[in-house]
Structures are given as structure tokens and as C-alpha cells.
Structure 1
Amino acid sequence: MHKKWTSNVHCAGYITLSYDVNSTKTTSFYHFWKSTGFCPPDPKEDIPKFLLSNEQRLNIALLGALPNNGLTHVRIHWLLNLLTHVYNFTYMDVFLSHLNNHDLAPGFELMGSSNQFIKFEKTGEFWRKLVKEIVKRYIVQFGVKRVSRWKFETWNEPDLKSYDILNFTLSEYLDYVVGCSSGLKEAFSGTKSTWKLGGPAGLFRDKDHPLCWGLLEACNGVLGGDSCPLQFLSFHRKGGGSSSGVLDGSFELLDLIRDRFAGLRHMPIANDEADIEKNWSKSLGWRADVRYAAMVVRVVAGYYKSIGERRKLKIEVLSNDNGFVNYHPFYFTQRTLFARFQINTTTPGHDQFIKKPAYSVMSLLSLLGDRHLQEEATPSDPLLTAVATRRGRRRQSFVSVILAYGNETRSDEEAVELINVTLGNIPEGREWKFLVYQLDNVRTNPYQVWKGFGRPVFPDRYQRRKMREVEEPRSLNVPTTIKGPTLNLSLKLTIPSVHLINMCARPKKFPRTVHSVTIFNVTWNEVLVTWKYKGKYANCLRTFEVENQSKCAGTRRRFTRINPSDTIFMSFHHVGKADRACERTRGDYRVRATDYWDRSGAYSGIISYP
């Protein structure tokens, strides 16, 4: 008996995809794209103030609130400017602790600008001592396991004068790189843990980039009588306005490096500024909606299939430099993951964050498994990107397929295509259920809602609520039982759209307990609630249930659920009911997880606010 499930649309033509979910012909699928980044604004002496601001506390908290650690790293320029003196770590301690508390690791660029308190030198000995001191300090503070997750990197784009403020010569630059590597080696000595230093984080233009090319030349031969100090080769290739531009530019550079430097052919690679378009602050309409999300999926899939599978290179990281916070009047259209509104109609003013599709799509990518399933037929439509995965080589616990349909920056919601997806050879002996998530420009487009309200600079409570109602992927069905060894699905595709088919085998155990519930004040009667959840079957969660027990007089002292819609995100923006006499957000909070079988785990510990 076959399960047939179809959305409410009928069309003559079909795209057909078929997968054997129990196939032995799978390949490793490492989640290499879980990184974002940003550059603090000038002036550089104000970087501590910016990174420790309330807006960045909320930004970091939300970056860490994706399911399955959908983002693991945040790559930040000029991080060493948090030092007020060479070994004064007061500001750095606070910022890195906030990252760590939200399960985020820094992409730690070893670069800084001198000021009245600290002077960065060019000698390798200076950098050896500084890097060693920094890393040893945070091994003690966070543990070696945490710090070994950090991705250390040499000076960003060292051939550009806007970054190379120390004016390195090639010999000085090589000495600096060796010094950074030596500091890491000494800091981790005796820990039995590995560490990774990447570089040169460059643009690799053909001419006038002697530092980047010089480092590869040195690594290809012998550098200082030792092996290459880099564990991965990092570069920047943006797309010039298209996802295909990111891919083509990356392939061209990697082929050139492979031809010129045979000794580096097998070094892991990282494009940690793999953005569709340069200039983060440029206002572009497609950055606001699902077009951006679909292009992100296309780049991830293209990197895996063309670099991971065909070129057999390990991808250390693929990062979008989209962790910036927008400014007025470009609330949705800059290269960001959230639309941030600076509300100046309250005392004091405050920030409101709305999730953009570029952020929401990271939740869908996080649901992919660790083994890649081969398509039994190549998609016939070039606008379709498909990646099918499962968890485990043999006894898999879930299967997930992501489908992105898009024509780069163009949008055409009137064009409809149907796709038929067949998932066959489903293992017997366990109950399986499936759920389908969707992002499109009609039902999950807060930018469109904002425009419909007349593009308000200070959206009110009602307008913000309506935007938040469409900021996350929508589920097209309730968790539905699969009867038999085959699941057939017919889905409606519009340009742009992203779908995620998630299929789970019934776990033996109930969901685990939610932990690390944190409450952030946003403004009067509004809070951001975040939490953490880790478990083998996190993919099989239908929702988190957030409950509150108000402390206001006249209210019943009992917990009630406050998030009306199901969510797989680990955050909820709670707005209390209007009450001039009492702030309804004051009270106790707890969270629990519920799976596809409506089984709930134990509640988290109760957190009181304020």
C-alpha cells in the first residue's frame, strides 16, 4: 500500500524525483554551512561598545536559537579590538561568554587595530605570545572542548589597505602567520585536542595581492623549515548578484590553486564570505524575501555536489557574511538575517527583531541528515535544486529532502510547477511519520506584510504581531503516518520557494528535557525567551511549548501556553496582554518539547522574570 499526499493544486506537468532511502550508496554529508559573520561599524575604538550593546545581545541570542545548532560560528572582524590593553580581557570575556552561552563559537580572526591602549606589532614573537595568552585563558574559562571548536583565521583580506593597517611586507606577514600558529600550538600543548588555523582569507586577485599568493607559495614549499601553518585554505568569492556567480568564481579559483600549488590540492577549503552580492549595506529587494533563501540553498547544494563530491575536497566552512544589523530606512533589504526596527516611541527606545526568510531557511537546512542520498534521476528543471539526506549508514532515524525552486533574483509567484517526490524502500518494523515545511513569497513573507502596512518606521504591536505570524516556515500538514514502504508526495512549486520534507521513525524514548531557558527584556511588557535542546531525535520534534505563569494581581496562578503556533525554533518573542496596571510578562516561564507523536518531554526548570 502506498501513501499518496498532494497539495491542493493540479497541473499537467510534473518534475519527478525518486530516492531509495535505504540505499547503501550514500556519501558523508557534513553540515559545513553553519556560519555567519559581520564587521562592526567604525570608529574602531567604539567596537567594544557596539559588540556589548543590547542590540547585539539580542542578535547573538537569535543567531544561537536555530534548531540543531543551525548556526555554530560567528566570524567577526576586529575582534581583538575588545582588548583595552594587551592582556586586559574585560570586554572580550563578556562578549565571548555571551557567544558561548548561546552555543556559538567565534570565527576568530587574529587581527586588530592599534589605539591609545594597545599597539599591535608585526613580529611573529608578538603574535605568538598574544595568541597563546588568549587561547590559554579561554581554555580555562570555557574548557578545551569548546575552544577547539573555534575557527581561528589569519588577518582578513591582508592585501587590501583598508584591512592591512600594519603594512605587512611578505616576510613580515609570513612571520606573523607562523607566530599565530606557534601560539595556538603552545596553548593547546598537552590537551590532546586539535585546533584549526585558516588563511589567508583573501580575494586572490591575479595582480597586486602578494600576501595571499605568497602564503600559498610558501605553504606549497617549506615555510620556516616546518610544515604549512594552515589547517584550511580560506578565500572569499561572492556572486555578483547570483548564486551561480558564487559557484563559478569558487570553482575557477580552486582549479587555479590546484594547478599552481600541487602540494595544497587536498587541503580543506573555506569560502567564509560566500555572499550572493558584495556590499552588505546595499539595498536590494531580493534580500528581503525567499529569493535570498532559495539562493542560499542553491549555493550549499552546489558546493557539496561540485566541490565535496566531484573534486573530493573537504569543505571546512561555507559562510554567508549576513550577521549584520540593518539601519534606517533599509529594514529588510540589506544583507542581514533579521529586520531590526529601532523603536524610538518608547522610553527608553528599544529594538525589535523580525526573522527574515534568509534566517528561517537555516532552520530547514539544519534538519538535513549526515548521509547524502543519490537521485535516481537528475531533475529536469534547471531552476530546481534538490538535496536528499538521511541520518545514519544503516538504521536511520530520519530522512529529509530540501527543494529550492528559484530563478536567481527574479520572482514569479504566478508560475506554478508540480514536483512528484517518491521516497521508496522505507525500512519496515517502525512507525514513520512525515511533515512538509514551506517558505514562499505569499505565505511566509514578513516584508510583504510590512509593505502592506505602508512601510512604517515604528511598527506598532499589531503590525509586529502580523509580521511575526509569517516569519517562520509553515507546515503544510500535521505529522502524518506513512503506510507501507513508499511515500509519494506532490508539491506545488512557485518562484521562489523552499520546501523541506522531513520523515521520522518513531523514537523509543520521549523527547529530552529543554534546558538553559533565558529571558531577555525587550521593552515594557515584551520579552524574548530562548532555550536549548539537544538530542538524537531533535529532527522529530513538532514544536516547543512555551508556558508562562503571571505574577500580576488578579491573574490565576497557573501555567498557560503562550506561543500560539507550533515552532521548531528555540526562541519566542512574548508580548503580554495590554494591562496598564501590571507588566504581564513578569512571572515564571518553562518550556518543553513535543514530538510528531504528541509525546512531550519533561518541562525545563522554571525561570522567574525579572
Structure 2
Amino acid sequence: MGTLQFHMDADAPKTTFVHYWEKCVGSCHGYTALREDYRKQLEKAAGDIGFQYVRFHGILNDDMCVVQENRPGEYTYNFFNIDNIFDFLLRIGMKPFMEIGFMPTPFASGEQTCFHYKGNVTVPKDYQAWDSFIAEMMRHFICRYGLAEVRQWYFEVWNEPNLKFFFAGDQKDYFTLYEHTARAIKSVDTGLQVGGPATAINAWIPELIDYCTQNGVPLDFISTHHYPTDDPLWNSGMSLEAFFADIEKKAKEGHSEEIHKQATVYRRGILKEMTERARKDAGDYPLYYTEWNTSASLPDDVHDYPYSAALVTKTVIDNIGLVDAYSFWTFTDIFEEHAQHCGEFHGGFGLQTVHGIPKPAYRAFELLHRMGSERYPAMEEQGNVGMLAASGRDGGLCVLAYNQQIPDQPAGKETVELQIDNCSVTCAEIFRIDEEHGNARKLWDNMGCPEYPDADQMGRLYQASVLGREELAIRKTETGIKVEFEIPEYGVALIQLK
């Protein structure tokens, strides 16, 4: 293929560049936040990438020991473990994005649970008891941390209630749970921020807004989730139940290839399409995606390879101006939803392996973080390659480029030529993520996939995860400068000019 030519003007008017993807990051259930290794990895990610809030399931699970029933209808609350976690977050400069769930067993109306850690997903058996508990928990937070601090937190009601796996009720049951929880929170202080519906696949947004408007229920923000592999369901027009019933039917008929396609194939740019619709549905409410990743499957090797770095970069650039927070799920493979998986690299959701080896997607967020608070006018994609120019966090000018394609579609190395008018710098560096750079998974594969790497292997893996860095030649032109570089398939590159 020929050279792709991009053009920008260093004197063009810049606009504010909000790092919305740094607002929040996801993690496994709350109890894991009591672990030392979890804390070290979160602190590192916050420092390298700039994450401000963290969200996790199960802050009210039984393993957190929050509620005990002494005798029928008489409860004792214990916020010690929650305090321990929140104290840590504040100590490292972060804050909680508190997903309220799952249901403490003493309050639960049933026995249905989810995941290895058995989070109860039923509604309260006694809403008066639930309301009292929620209000008391808010009062406790305000007493311990101060009203001004707690008003900066976010309280999100439940997780993916449109999936039977996560919620034993229907939409009406969720709206009832949301109303009780939101009113209980606001009864303590109207300045506390509460929202939902925290749904999978961008669902229930207009319905929740309508319910809250018609019934005078507090609603401060909209939250939802999506993955690119939601595409077949999102476009099918089916209900979730009908979609999975169709999958089950095809499985019984032996159509495994069709099932695989239905569960994994998606269109390039689908996450932007989903976000645009959610933005429209949310209206004037802040829109927070509190869960997303490059694949919803676990394990899925795409999480460990440069493929995810390229998709992360394109998606973050695509969604500028559409979303107020975009919380990647998750920052680490310390992750116990289906028990802790074996192997340093096992296709987990995390940006870091269980021992903290940064994956290519981690490095992509690191490059995004190096960009400053102002951006230049958008440059149109050419083929699979796109780029964004912005001020540098440490001064100068940054250009972030990606070569992104979806699975099973043509992809290859591209040569890129960038003309920058009204620029006279003489020094440029390029930082790379691709098959040969910032890709520790490749080395691990070449090692024979050791399940328990020794100290020497761990050192080599960490070194392999480091960004590629080299000098980039600059050519002067009549109107400014020109740089030329190659970007492999699924590659990401940051050019820094100072």
C-alpha cells in the first residue's frame, strides 16, 4: 500500500481536552481491595495513568461483614472493612465510585447468587430495613470523611440488573430498588450523587429517566456498560432472554460455528455507535460508562496482546465529547469472579497481570495520559489508521496514532507521513506498542507459558512490557516540518515533539 498522508497546523485553535477515560477504573469485588498486592497495583496504575475513582462489585457482600441479623428484624452494621478500603483510596489520592450491591444475606428475599464469591442478587425482603441501612451508611460516611468529601463520591445502584445472572427481578423490581435506595441516600443529604441503571448493553436509559421524572425520584447521572462483542445482541432487536434462548437452540442443533460468530463478530467502530445512542438517550444527564473492555469474554487472549491497545486508543479518541466517564474493566488480573485463573497471562480483563506486569492496553492508557489538557482539530481516519494531536503533559506537542482493525479483517503495516505546518521543532521521539514493543505476552508465550514464572523470568517479562522508544527524523518543509514512520497492525505510537 502507499503512504498515508496526514496534515495538521500547530497554530490551529485548540480546545479543552478532558481526560474522561481517567475518571474511573474497575476492579474485582470489594474484598480484594483489602489485599496488599491489589493496593500496590492500583496505586501504580493511578500514578502512571491518572485514574481518579475506582468501582467494584460486592462492597456489601457477606465477605465484607457489613450486616448481621441478631434476631428476626434486628440488625447490626459494621463498616470497618469498607472504611479500611475507602481510607486507602483517599490516602493514595483516589475516591470510591460506589456500586451499591450485592444484597447482604440478612436483607435478602431469596438465595440466588452470582460468581465464585456468591454475591446475593435478590431484592430486599423488607424495604424499610434496607432504607434504614442505606441512610445509616451514608451518615457514617459523612461522619467519618466529612460532607464535602462524600459529596464528591458517586453512588450507583446495583450492577447490570437487566441480566438475570446479576438481578433476580425484572425492570419494575429494579426501579423499585433504585427508588428506595436513591430516596434513602438523598434523605441524608440532597447533595449526594446517585444514579443508574448500571445496565449491560446500554439498556434501560430512557426508561429509568422516564420513571424518575414521572415519580419525582432523584437521578443525578446515567450509568451503563458495553463491550464491542455486545454488537450481535445490540443489533438483533431481541430481548436478552430471546437472544440467549436462540444461542441455546443453536447449541442443541450443533451450530457451533454460528454461535461463535454470533458471540464474537462485531463492526469496526461499534463502541462509538453505542455511545452516540446512549448519549442521545441520556439527554442532559452526565453519562458514565462504568464498565467496558475490548472483549466481554473471559478468558480471551485479545486482552493480553497489542490488539487491545489499538482498540483502547481508537475507542477513547472516537468517544471524545460523548461521555463524561469511561471506566475500563479492570486495572488488574487479581480477579475472582470465576475464581482466580491460573497463569501469568490467561486472557484476563486486567490492564496488569496478577503479579503486576503491564499489558499493552496498560501502556496505551499510559500514552494517553501523556497528552495534555488541550487538543487540536480532529484528523480524519485513513483506512485503519487514525491519530489525535494535543498539547503534551510536559509541554510541546503530542501526536497519538493507532492502526486498528477488528478480528478476521485485513490488517497490515502502514507507512504514515505527517505534515505539521507552523512548527519548527528539531527533536522528536516516538514511543511504540506493537508486536515487538510493550508486549510481554509474546515473551511469555516464547518462554513456554510458565504458570509460575521465577524471579528472573518476571524481570524479563517486565522489561518486555516497557514501551519502545527511539528518535524520529524530522524534515523541514516550506510550511513547517514533516515526519514519517511505520505503524504495524494493531500498533499504537506516540510522537512527542519538543
Give the TM bin, normalised by the shorter chain.
0.7 to 0.9
Mapped partners of 1:72, 1:276: distance in 2: 21
Instruction: Tell me how far 1:384 sits from its aligned partner.
Output: 0.9
TM-score when scaled to structure 2? Answer: 0.75
Asked if structure 1 preserves the Cα contact closer than 8 Å seen for 2:363 and 2:438, the reply is no
- Which one of 203, 209, 212 corresponds to residue 216 of structure 1? 209
Mapped partners of 1:95, 1:245: distance in 2: 37
Match of 2:434 in 1: 440
Structure 1 residue 333 and structure 2 residue 323: aligned? no
Instruction: Tell me how far 1:202 sits from its aligned partner.
Output: 1.2
Distance 1:173 1:372, change over 3 A: same
- Which one of 58, 68, 86 corresponds to residue 78 of structure 1? 58
Mapped partners of 1:74, 1:372: distance in 2: 26
Instruction: Tell me how far 1:397 sits from its aligned partner.
Output: 4.2
Asked if structure 1 preserves the Cα contact closer than 8 Å seen for 2:344 and 2:453, the reply is no
- Which one of 318, 336, 356 corresponds to residue 353 of structure 1? 356
Match of 2:78 in 1: 88
* Percent identity between the two aligned chains: 20
- Which one of 79, 101, 114 corresponds to residue 91 of structure 2? 101
Asked if structure 2 preserves the Cα contact closer than 8 Å seen for 1:37 and 1:74, the reply is yes
Distance 1:435 1:134, change over 3 A: farther
Instruction: Tell me how far 1:503 sits from its aligned partner.
Output: 3.6
Mapped partners of 2:472, 2:129: distance in 1: 59
Instruction: Tell me how far 1:476 sits from its aligned partner.
Output: 1.5
Instruction: Tell me how far 1:157 sits from its aligned partner.
Output: 1.5
Mapped partners of 1:479, 1:126: distance in 2: 68
User: Higher strand fraction: Structure 1 or Structure 2?
Assistant: 1
Match of 1:512 in 2: none
Distance 1:300 1:218, change over 3 A: same
Q: Give the partner amino acid of 2:406.
A: E
Instruction: Tell me how far 1:126 sits from its aligned partner.
Output: 4.7
Mapped partners of 1:137, 1:366: distance in 2: 35
Number of equivalences: 433
Instruction: Tell me how far 1:461 sits from its aligned partner.
Output: 2.1
Structure 1 residue 156 and structure 2 residue 150: aligned? no
SS at match of 1:134: helix
SS at match of 1:463: helix
Distance 1:117 1:152, change over 3 A: closer
Q: Give the partner amino acid of 1:339.
A: T
Instruction: Tell me how far 1:150 sits from its aligned partner.
Output: 2.6
SS at match of 2:195: strand
Mapped partners of 1:489, 1:83: distance in 2: 58
> Could you list the per-position Cα deviations for residues 83-130 of structure 1 after superposition, in whole angstroms to 9, with x for gaps in the alignment?
432531111111222222232322211122222599983666555544
**Structure 1: runs of 5 or more not aligned:** 1-11, 41-46, 259-263, 341-351, 505-610
Q: Give the partner amino acid of 2:21.
A: W
Instruction: Tell me how far 1:479 sits from its aligned partner.
Output: 12
Residues 43-58 of structure 1: pairs in structure 2 closer than 5 A: 48=31, 50-58=32-40
Mapped partners of 1:122, 1:401: distance in 2: 55
Distance 1:371 1:412, change over 3 A: same
SS at match of 2:341: coil
- Which one of 356, 377, 380 corresponds to residue 378 of structure 1? 380
SS at match of 1:355: coil
Mapped partners of 2:428, 2:136: distance in 1: 50
Mapped partners of 1:489, 1:432: distance in 2: 11
Match of 2:197 in 1: 200
Mapped partners of 1:96, 1:121: distance in 2: 25
Structure 1 residue 365 and structure 2 residue 345: aligned? no
Instruction: Tell me how far 1:51 sits from its aligned partner.
Output: 3.6
Mapped partners of 1:432, 1:198: distance in 2: 50
Mapped partners of 1:397, 1:355: distance in 2: 26
**Larger displacement relative to structure 2 (31-40 or 457-466):** 31-40
SS at match of 2:437: coil
TM-score when scaled to structure 1? Answer: 0.63
Mapped partners of 1:265, 1:91: distance in 2: 37
Mapped partners of 1:215, 1:271: distance in 2: 16
Match of 2:390 in 1: 389
Q: Give the partner amino acid of 1:360.
A: R
Match of 1:283 in 2: 300
Match of 1:303 in 2: 319
Instruction: Tell me how far 1:155 sits from its aligned partner.
Output: 1.4
Instruction: Tell me how far 1:239 sits from its aligned partner.
Output: 0.8
Match of 2:454 in 1: 460
Residues 397-416 of structure 1: pairs in structure 2 closer than 5 A: 397-409=395-407, 415-416=412-413
> Could you list the per-position Cα deviations for residues 181-202 of structure 1 after superposition, in whole angstroms to 9, with x for gaps in the alignment?
344445445xxxx653231011
Mapped partners of 1:441, 1:64: distance in 2: 26
SS at match of 1:64: helix
Instruction: Tell me how far 1:333 sits from its aligned partner.
Output: 1.9
Mapped partners of 1:294, 1:169: distance in 2: 36
Q: Give the partner amino acid of 1:462.
A: D
Asked if structure 1 preserves the Cα contact closer than 8 Å seen for 2:401 and 2:494, the reply is yes
> Could you list the per-position Cα deviations for residues 273-296 of structure 1 after superposition, in whole angstroms to 9, with x for gaps in the alignment?
2222213x2232x22111111001
Match of 2:244 in 1: none
- Which one of 251, 254, 257 corresponds to residue 278 of structure 2? 254
Asked if structure 1 preserves the Cα contact closer than 8 Å seen for 2:472 and 2:483, the reply is no
Match of 2:19 in 1: 31
Q: Give the partner amino acid of 1:321.
A: W
Q: Give the partner amino acid of 2:44.
A: L
> Could you list the per-position Cα deviations for residues 147-206 of structure 1 after superposition, in whole angstroms to 9, with x for gaps in the alignment?
3443321111123332224x4672x543432343344445445xxxx653231011368x
- Which one of 293, 300, 324 corresponds to residue 316 of structure 1? 324
Instruction: Tell me how far 1:383 sits from its aligned partner.
Output: 0.6
Q: Give the partner amino acid of 1:196.
A: Q
Instruction: Tell me how far 1:235 sits from its aligned partner.
Output: 1.9
Match of 2:414 in 1: 417
Distance 1:28 1:216, change over 3 A: same
Distance 1:416 1:479, change over 3 A: closer
Asked if structure 1 preserves the Cα contact closer than 8 Å seen for 2:398 and 2:494, the reply is yes
Structure 1 residue 293 and structure 2 residue 281: aligned? no
SS at match of 2:356: strand
Mapped partners of 2:162, 2:228: distance in 1: 20
Mapped partners of 2:307, 2:438: distance in 1: 12
Distance 1:412 1:495, change over 3 A: farther
